[in-house]
A = this chain, B = another copy of it.
Amino acid sequence: MTNPSPQLRAAPEAREPTRAPTREGVLRAAAKVSALVPHTPLLALELPDGGTVWCKAECLQPVGAFKLRGAWHRLTDLSEKERARGVVAVSSGNHAQGVAWAARRLGIAATIVMPADAPAVKLNETRRLGAQVVLYERLTQSRDAIAAQLCAAQGSVLVHAYGDPWVIEGQGSAGIELASQMECFAGGPPTRIVAPCGGGGLVSGLALACPEAQVVPVEPEGWDDVTRSLAGGAIVGVGANPPPTACDALQTMATFPINFAVMTSRGMQGVAVSEAEVRAAQVYAFAKLRLVVEPGGAAALGAVLAAKVPADGRTAVILSGGNVDPASFASVLRGESESMK
């Protein structure tokens, strides 16, 4: 399959990039994604205290992260003219692979602006999927300026990693799957969804998908701009000289108004996790779920394991990605196995 059926295409009036994302859009995205790839599994995870959380294993997507959801929804809604001019995206690697994967499947040219220090596995896979990769220096160059220049030169559409209504709706399709899987195996839909948060695309989509659930964004310490923005009622960015973090997928400088509007309308409150809490979650997922989860993908589980978010009711955790270099993952396992002896 390369295209969704006609009834799943957007009406012309819904093609405005500044429109607000809607639950109807999430449902449309979920139908498109369901026809594209199998649902990622929902796995019951026993916590050390005997409780249970439900883990949505988005690291098992074909590109190793949830990002193909938003990319597929966005790209399949482009007009023929837009498709012909190609797309541009900015990403440390997971959105890059999602856009590249969807673009290859649809025969659309993709150019991805990526930081030079992105994990090798992410750079290699993005290129292998046929995208053109443009590197930039994370601390000295503006990736958005580079992307804007590319779009202007080629007349391409920018597929923003989180500040885009289609991308938000597409990521929300994970919540539609999650709710139906939890109805089946957990006795009802989720009452709480804990999810890693970079710019807020995923948590915004989940909130639209599951209007009854409390959605909790989790960020790395020092990169908790969304948490601070939600606490203060206005968007603030990551401060100067943020600390190093292994969570490359969550290193975004500030959320966008389109995301912030959804998050604040739901009264979201964020949580920050330490690097050690993230590593502990990676090891726990390895041992108990036999899953490879990248640092950013394990942030939400880290918050639950550290009891920073309660796991009462029907709590779900998104394991959002699993693209990690083998040497880096081995270090995480070694550290834990040594300290456990």
Q: Mark A residues whose CB is within 8 Å of B.
A: 38, 40-44, 57, 59-60, 62, 64, 121, 181, 184-185, 283, 286-287, 289-293, 322-323, 325-327, 329-331, 333-334, 336-338
Q: Are A64 and B292 also in contact (CB < 8 A) when A38-B42, A330-B334, A333-B330 are?
A: no
CA distance A292 to B283 in the complex (A): 11
Among B287, B323, B327, the residue within 8 A (CB) of A326 is: B287
CA distance A260 to B286 in the complex (A): 35
Closest to A59 in B: B290
Number of copies: 2
CA distance A322 to B290 in the complex (A): 6
Closest to A324 in B: B290
A-B contact pairs, 30 of them (CB 8 A): A38-B41, A38-B42, A38-B181, A38-B184, A38-B185, A40-B41, A41-B41, A41-B60, A44-B62, A57-B60, A60-B289, A60-B291, A64-B290, A121-B287, A286-B292, A286-B329, A287-B326, A290-B293, A290-B322, A290-B323, A291-B291, A292-B292, A326-B333, A326-B337, A327-B333, A327-B334, A327-B338, A330-B330, A330-B331, A330-B334
Set of chain B residues within 8 Å of A62, measured between Cβ atoms:
44
A190 to chain B, nearest CB (A): 16
User: Are B290 and A290 in contact, CB atoms less than 8 angstroms apart?
Assistant: no
Set of chain B residues within 8 Å of A322, measured between Cβ atoms:
290
Set of chain B residues within 8 Å of A290, measured between Cβ atoms:
59-60, 64, 291-293, 322-323
CA distance A209 to B60 in the complex (A): 26
Set of chain B residues within 8 Å of A41, measured between Cβ atoms:
38, 40-41, 60
Set of chain B residues within 8 Å of A286, measured between Cβ atoms:
292, 326, 329
